[in-house]
Amino acid sequence: MILCGHEIAYGQKKEIEIPVINSNPIKASIFCGEKEGKTLVITAGVHGCEYVGIEAAQRLKNIINPKELCGNIILVPIVNESGFFSGAKQVVPEDNQNLNRVFPADENGTLSKLIAHAVQTYLYPYADFLIDLHSGDINEELFPLVFFPVAGEQRVNEKALEAAKCLSVPYRVKSTAKNGLYSYAVQQGIPSLLIERGFGGLWSENEVSACIEDIFRIMSYLNIIDKSYDNINQTEISIAVYEETECNGFWYTNKKAGEEIKQGDLLGVFQTANDKRCIFAEFDGVVLYYTTALGVQKGDALIAYGRA
């Protein structure tokens, strides 16, 4: 295969740089299998403080053996490199934009748009399937889950759903998003998933190992590797509520990620200098994630919960 002017032969691994207009390139590892097959694109580090996926991707660089593959792997451990090294919460620090909210993008705009444009230009055209690895940021606690699309073409949605069922996370959540790295890929006809594992800007060996296993489960599903896995019991979340702020204020949570809730339960209190809003559960379900920060600003997520 040829990517960004680099030719990668069958059975070869190569480190390359993906150009970003007027900025540092994105580093990628390319694994070209001994035999032909599908191409899996794996991205991590869209948010610089979501470490489980980043560390898992870093380790995969030394674990994946191209000579054992039927197909190709394009691995990008850190999409938002400046956010990672500066410890910036959820944004590209140069423009304070959430990279996962700027798709689709073109060559005009600030750095977030330029990074998104590079992803669209150089990664999407090769992808038969795309996995975007995320974690709970420094202000978030979440329970392991995978978001799968329902806003793409039916055939794309169905392929993504079948792959999601192969993962080891306990919950799979329907997503109607269209403006993120994985969700805009879906709009371009690429089956894609967003995997969430880890939280609080932390990582552990168990979480990283589980994330790596999920990547190999996807590789098995795509027949890129000759290995089988037993399916794990998984609950599909068909309805979810995402509570967000409309202004700056204080957030006092009353629940934990993964905790089962009942209709009418108090989930938390959002308070400003002049007002207080109590948030109650609309139905029985489970808490998917919540914000651990005391201080929140307009547009921040407070808590998300869902039910089957």
**Are 26 and 152 contained in the same domain?**
yes
Q: How large is the C-alpha radius of gyration of the chain?
A: 19
**Closest to 36 measured CA to CA, from 10, 7, 4, 70:** 70
**Are 287 and 150 contained in the same domain?**
no
Q: Please give the residue range of the domain that contains residue 136.
A: 2-221
Does 226 map to a domain? no
Number of domains in the chain: 2
Does 233 map to a domain? no
**Closest to 149 measured CA to CA, from 186, 114, 121:** 186
Q: What percentage of the chain reaches a pLDDT higher than 70?
A: 100
**Are 251 and 200 contained in the same domain?**
no
Does 163 map to a domain? yes
**Are 91 and 185 contained in the same domain?**
yes
**pLDDT score, position 276:** 95
**Are 116 and 262 contained in the same domain?**
no
Distance CA 159, CA 153 (A): 10
Report pLDDT digits (tens) over 19-66.
Answer: 999 999 999 999 999 999 999 999 999 999 999 999 999 999 999 999
**Are 147 and 10 contained in the same domain?**
yes
Q: Write out the two tokens for 258.
A: 């993964």
| Average pLDDT of the residues of the chain | 97
**Are 57 and 188 contained in the same domain?**
yes
**Are 109 and 194 contained in the same domain?**
yes
Band of the pLDDT at 132, cuts 50, 70, 90?
very high
The torsion defined by the Cα of 129, 8, 84 and 90, in degrees rounded to 10, comes to -20
CATH classification of the domain holding 255: 2.40.50.100
pTM for the predicted model, two decimal places: 0.96
Does 78 map to a domain? yes
Report pLDDT digits (tens) over 222-276.
Answer: 999 999 999 899 999 999 999 999 999 999 999 999 999 999 999 999 999 999 9
**Are 180 and 214 contained in the same domain?**
yes
Domain endpoint, select from 190, 221, 252:
221
Q: What percentage of the chain reaches a pLDDT higher than 90?
A: 98
**Are 187 and 86 contained in the same domain?**
yes
Name 305's bridge partners.
241, 287
Distance CA 121, CA 193 (A): 19
Does 207 map to a domain? yes
**Are 155 and 250 contained in the same domain?**
no
